[in-house]
Amino acid sequence: MTDYDLIVIGAGAVGENVADYAHKRGLSVAIVEAELVGGECSYWACMPSKALLRSGHAVAAAKRVDGAEQAVTGDLDAAHVLARRNSFTSDWKDDSQVEWLDSADIALIRGHARITGPKTIEVEGETHTARAAVAVVTGSLHSLPDVPGLADAKPWGTREATSAQHVPESLLVIGGGVSGSELATAWASLGAKVTLVARHGLLGGMEPFAGELVADAMRELGIDVRTGVNPTRVDRDEHGLVTTTLDDGTTVVTSEVLAATGRSAHTADLGLEAVGLTPGDWLDVDDTMLVQGTDWLYAIGDVNHRVLLTHQGKYQARAAGEAIAARFQGTPLHTEPWGAHVATADHAAVPQVTFTDPEVASVGLTEAKAREQGLNVRAVEYELGSIAGAALQADGYSGRAKMVVDEDRGVVVGVTFVGQDVAEMLHAATVAVVGEVPVDRLWHAVPAYPTMNEIWLRLLETYGRPE
């Protein structure tokens, strides 16, 4: 039996941050990992998917600049793209991340952890207890939609779609969310003939024009985007071909099928029943990430189902790591909104980039969401292609921006940009939303000429300056 102040279950990016922040406050910390230190983001999600997309974006961007276009004389070299992707996952080895744990003085316990009672866990028959807290940072799992035949057809999940070592001749993507849209774009750019089917439009939950512009661009890339349809049956034949029947009566035959329709909580085999919680459920937490009804169990990252994004999980981890230490050491806890020990931004200012082409970069509330919350908002939109910086960035640049303003408080509560290279423009919007910068003051934040950030000026002009 080994004791630590804090035991973290799950060494994904989020778990590593909880461990690090608590340890920096003086706690002894152990982290338990059943697979690879670094978790989903490093090996089967953010990093490999963005690596698969980047080369296609670079070529497409060059082709949109006269003079550079003439220098692009061939197609993407898929083998090199896949090799570059492999390098970003360190060939699915976690040595460098283990080295980091060692250097940070965080003990690594390899194996599958189960909670056996308050502050007590078991890994491979060994019991470990925590003096302060146990943090569950086990993430989420790819979940398969309930389509007859799909499970037997050996579909790709997001793991297979981010780690495949060859380009399939053709691919059917089921699901038009962020992962489905990104992976459809990536594999199409690598030469696969891609069909994407989505129950509704693409990128639900975002401003409606985001999904519309991305769908238009995907079609231009050669992806067969079909919205308003559902698969009703999937069969893989003896030659390996997959036939998917859709509810509009059509069928699609492809080499592979990717189900990208959602995630479920990674809590089924975690021993939650030993402490009165339900296996398989997402864990409900307060703003310090403390599981409701406990004073020792924390749940951080995907597993609490607040926001399924690495950067937001890491933000929660910084707050929770500090909160765990403060509670253990009896130092003041700052749980007021925007205090050091709470993840307030989860409710008001989540930034997200969808790395399709065009990219979608958004933060805060959409207009619809703001109205649903009862805010008195006014929204303005502007064509990004009309900005001098955008015209220089790409010939025929087209894109769109929207700013949602809370009229009662005079502050921006949401921003969405859609267009090439908008990802790097997002942080200014995040600062404006988190800082609740008055719109009057934003007029004094002068965007450099000729950059695409001049969109801010045009949005403000469209909104109108108070008399």
Residues 217/193, Cβ–Cβ less than 8 Å:
no
Name which of 32 and 164 has its Cβ closer to ligand FAD.
32
Q: How far is the CB of 111 from ligand FAD (least distance, A)?
A: 7
Q: How far is residue 389 from each of residues 43, 59, 428, 430, 448, measured CA to CA in Å?
A: 35, 20, 16, 21, 9
168/313 with CB nearer ligand FAD? 313
Q: How far apart are CA 282 and CA 299, in angstroms?
A: 9
Cis before 447? omega within 30: no
Take residue 270 and report the two structure tokens written for it. 């975690």
Tokens of 367: 């207009």
Task: Please say which residue, 34 or 104, places its beta carbon nearer to ligand FAD.
Answer: 34
Positions that interact with ligand FAD (CB under 6 A): 9-15, 32-35, 39-41, 45-46, 49-50, 112-113, 137-139, 158, 162, 179, 266, 270, 301-302, 308-311, 313
Residue 139 or 399: the one with the smaller Cβ distance to ligand FAD is: 139
Furthest-apart CA atoms within the chain: distance in Å: 72
Q: Specify the residue, 128 or 458, whose C-beta has the smaller distance to ligand FAD.
A: 128
CB atoms within 10 A of CB 337: 10
The Cα–Cα gap between 459 and 380 comes to 7
* Least distance between ligand FAD and beta carbon 290 (Å): 16
Sign of CA dihedral 86, 91, 92, 93: negative
Which residues lie across from 438 on neighbouring strands?
411
Q: How many CA atoms lie within 13 A of 210 on its CB side?
A: 29
For ligand FAD, which is the closer residue by CB, 162 or 255? 162
Smallest distance from ligand FAD to CB 303, Å: 6
Q: How far is the CB of 407 from ligand FAD (least distance, A)?
A: 31
**Alpha-carbon span 312 to 233, nearest angstrom:** 36
Minimum distance of ligand FAD from residue 114's CB (angstroms): 7
Q: Count CB neighbours of 60 within 10 A.
A: 19
Residue closer to ligand FAD (CB basis): 175 or 414: 175
Residue 274 CB, nearest approach to ligand FAD (Å): 13
Backbone angles phi, psi at 157, to 5 degrees: -100, -170
| Shortest Cβ 307–ligand FAD spacing (Å) | 8
Nearer to ligand FAD by Cβ, of 301 and 389: the residue is: 301
What are the start-end ranges of the E strands in 255-372? 256-259, 263-265, 297-299, 351-354, 359-364
Residue 389 vs 419, nearer CB to ligand FAD: 419
Supply the minimum distance, in Å, between the C-beta of residue 437 and ligand FAD.
Answer: 24
| Cα distance between residue 296 and residue 298, in whole Å | 7
Query: Closest distance between ligand FAD and the C-beta of residue 356, in Å?
Result: 11
Is the Cβ of residue 14 or residue 411 nearer to ligand FAD in the bound state? 14
Q: How far is the CB of 93 from ligand FAD (least distance, A)?
A: 14
Give the ranges where 352-453 is alpha helix by DSSP (H). Answer: 367-372, 388-393, 426-434, 439-442
